[in-house]
Chains A and B, each alone.
Chain A
Amino acid sequence: GAVVSQHPSWVICKSGTSVKIECRSLDFQATTMFWYRQFPKQSLMLMATSNEGSKATYEQGVEKDKFLINHASLTLSTLTVTSAHPEDSSFYICSANGLAGLNEQFFGPGTRLTVL
């Protein structure tokens, strides 16, 4: 089956630093990847849609200058949290659509970010 990996699985950083999270489709090409955020005991909320070779589309209320998304290849999308603050602490999950599967979504294992 299709596998999506995320790296790192967890990260702790100091306030003000930037953190990069990678999302890779390991055995398929993903034209579209999605980034979700999940605060403790809450649901997953879509942050942005990442399309290979073009700019990401951000959901309302998500600061594009703070959450930089790059989808440079069909197998890799990165989310960079710039100048992270404690309120950015959350569980970040990516998912990928395959080329053939119209609504087949494959989720990564998630990255837990803690900002001190």
Chain B
Amino acid sequence: AQKVTQAQTEISVVEKEDVTLDCVYETRDTTYYLFWYKQPPSGELVFLIRRNSFDEQNEISGRYSWNFQKSTSSFNFTITASQVVDSAVYFCALSEAGTGRRALTFGSGTRLQVQP
């Protein structure tokens, strides 16, 4: 069975601070996909990144960066120089390609509050 753990329930930072959101996953599949989504108060999920299990390269997109470490089953997300608009709930998710099960298993989410 697959599982995604986001141990940080809530994080509060002051604007311009860097913040890292942790994600640890469990799966028996060798082929899988990892995702990060942002959910603002409106509720609509905003896709941030998808990474497959064969690509361990870290990725940077503007102020966002992701660190995928298969050895520790982690896929952490860092926001550099946080802004108030980054305040939202962030979900890490997993889908297993090998089983053909494309539905996502979500972590419990981390609520990020960026104070001005």
Binding site for B on A (CB under 8 A): 32, 34, 38, 42-46, 49, 91, 93, 95, 97, 102-105, 107, 109-110, 112
Cβ contact within 8 Å between B45 and A107:
yes
Given contacts A103-B50, A105-B102, contact A42 B108 (CB under 8 A): yes
Cβ contact within 8 Å between A109 and B91:
no
Cβ contact within 8 Å between A91 and B43:
yes
Count of residues in B whose CB is under 8 Å from the partner chain: 20
The secondary-structure label for the interface of chain A is strand
- 6 new A-B contacts, CB < 8 A, other than A45-B106, A109-B42, are A38-B43, A44-B104, A44-B106, A46-B105, A95-B104, A102-B97
A107 in complex: contacting residue of B47, B102, B105, CB < 8 Å: B47
Contact with A along B30-72 (1 / 0, CB 8 A): 0001000100001111010010100000000000000000000
B45 neighbours in A (Cβ, 8 Å): 93, 107, 110
